[in-house]
Amino acid sequence: MDYKLLGQKILELVGGKNNVESVVHCMTRLRFKLKDESIVNDDLVKKTKGVIDVMKKGGQYQIIIGNEVASVYKEICRLGNFKDDTSKSSNTSENKNKNVFVGILDTISGVMSPVIPAIIGAAMIKVLLTVLPMIGLLSDTSQTYQLLSVIGDGAFYFMPVLIGMSAAKKFGANPYYAVSIALMLQHPNFSAMMEGIKSGEETLKFFGFIPVTYAFYAYSVIPIIMSVWILPHIERFVDKITPSITKNFLKPMLVMLIIGPIVMVAVGPLGSIFGNVLTDIIYFIHDKLGFIAVGLVAAIFPFVVMTGMHHAFTPIKIGVLAGTGFEAFICIAEFCSNMAQGAATLAVSVKSKNKDVKQSAGSAAFSALVAGITEPALYGTTLRYKKPMIGACIGAGLGGLVGGFFQMKSFGVATPALVTIPQYIEKGNPKSLLFVLITAAVTIVVSFIAAYIIGFEDPVEEAVEEAAQEEKKVEALNTTIKIGSPIQGEVVGLEQVDDETFASGIMGKGTAVIPTKGQIVAPFDGVIEVFFKTKHALALRSNDGVEMLIHVGIDTVNLNGKYFTDKKSQGDKIKTGDVLLEFDIEGIRSEGYNVVTPVIVTNSDNYLDVVECDKDRININENILTLI
């Protein structure tokens, strides 16, 4: 995969870098905050090679890439000169109108997402600490074991520090203030005072009369999120009341002097209480339904992943593990769900006659089963072909019932997968390994068989049909389609366009014109499939199937419609010579933009060749391209 070209195309399709407020990524998704989502054509993004699917959620425009998302993200940041910054949290109407509880969970999920790699890394160290003593390679009393324990536990014990940094980016707070708050809550002296309150040996009061309530902040998430949420408001307040001459020393002191007591006395304890309430709500379901709850959550977990809300469960799992040493609900359901997605996708790979489907589904199945990364399987296979999702839900539900019945426990929060099975093994209970293996076997076998039997619409017939069409084209080499020019001006080769997305041919074959008249006309009879709201580009389809993109200028999406006047609308039927668009050439140039206009046949793969005209200058409706 050419990450640079994919990044360029994605950036162009989301409206250019000027339409991007911020962009981050999680394990499989690019998460854009766009100034205007309405100018993005979802279908064009979804059709881009390398993109699995698109989702809109919580003010984010999410493009699902899969395991290679980090490489694509890196290229997009380089191309757009973006920083890894989510501080510009858009206050959209969607965020204002959403259910409060859902909004809270969404916020937690958004803060947790950037921290997940660190958590997974630490959790995998803990898995190693289970495996190595079991196979006799490391003694659990050795100094190496103790040192590895520190490495594996550090990210969890000091979780508030990681969360503080992430929350600062999301809420637009100073990250160093945020980290200072987290460190304050975990200072050894403060922790000792908290233990004194817990044991009843002492009371703790601020200024002699404001009581400080006990709370345990190591491994915690909610208290620091709430603390950092109020931090920007205090920063702005202090900034207003401090004279300019004293800001460099008085402002930092006042910020910490105000936020410190507020967090210790009110926000921290309230956050701890709220975290406990969230946990109680989740486990109330488990207490009432028992192992049935595990099966139900396992069956619906793929749909939780689709919303991105699965990260909101992470602090709950960590809190339960810190308190009891194990987690016996969410981790078990998630394990069964991941195994089911992998098995159902594997069934598609085995059953399909299409080589591309077999390859993509096979790699996605491996990713889900072995590594626990299910988005490629979910969006690329089970959800795409629909019916395999039924098989995955059946297998996950039944597996969850089995795991719940055996009272499986997880002693870590590494991504549930085959390689992390050791985290489900209970010391001193050899049956626990048997229980997890039975649960995994039931889930995988049932999901595979169900998905295989239910079947799916294999695109193999489409491939055969395309091959047959190709043979017909070869037989009819003399059959050509001539395309009239939609624009008047100087003809230049597509490779001379100063934009790699067009020049490389990734969007299709064609040519380009430097316009001398600011007018675009219909090059054939057909329909306007897409007319960008910024009016700088339009996609046409002829009555005989030619698909064409006409893109006026380079990066002119940033003009947001200025200097462009549409004469037709998306969905309109067109006749050859109809005026579709008018634009002010000099006005566009005055803003510093190149007006060279690519004219591209986007489905040029359907033709043996796309031949450019040999003219230096061309008038409207003169032959510009010949399709063979």
Q: What are the residue numbers of the active site?
A: 26
Cα–Cα distance between 548 and 541 in angstroms, integer?
6
DSSP state of 387: H
CA atoms 310, 315, 316, 320: torsion sign: positive
Q: In the structure encoding, which two tokens stand for residue 512, read together?
A: 């380009």
**Closest residue by Cα to residue 605 from 414, 466, 406, 437:** 466
554-557 long-range contacts (CB < 8 A, ≥24 apart) are 554/497, 554/498, 554/499, 554/593, 554/594, 554/596, 555/16, 555/499, 555/593, 555/594, 556/588, 556/593, 556/595, 557/12, 557/15, 557/16, 557/18, 557/19, 557/39, 557/532
Question: What Å distances lie between residue 569 and 519, 530, 566, 573, CA to CA?
Answer: 15, 9, 7, 9
Handedness of CA 76, 81, 83, 87 (dihedral sign): negative
In 10 A of CB 252, how many CB atoms?
Answer: 17
Distance, CA of 347 to CA of 339 (rounded, Å)? 12
Rg (CA), the chain: 29
Helices (H) and strands (E) in the chain, counts: 24, 20
Cα distance between residue 269 and residue 214, in whole Å: 7
How far is residue 600 CA from its own chain's centroid?
A: 30
Residue 58: left if φ>0, alpha if ψ -120 to 50, beta else—which one? left
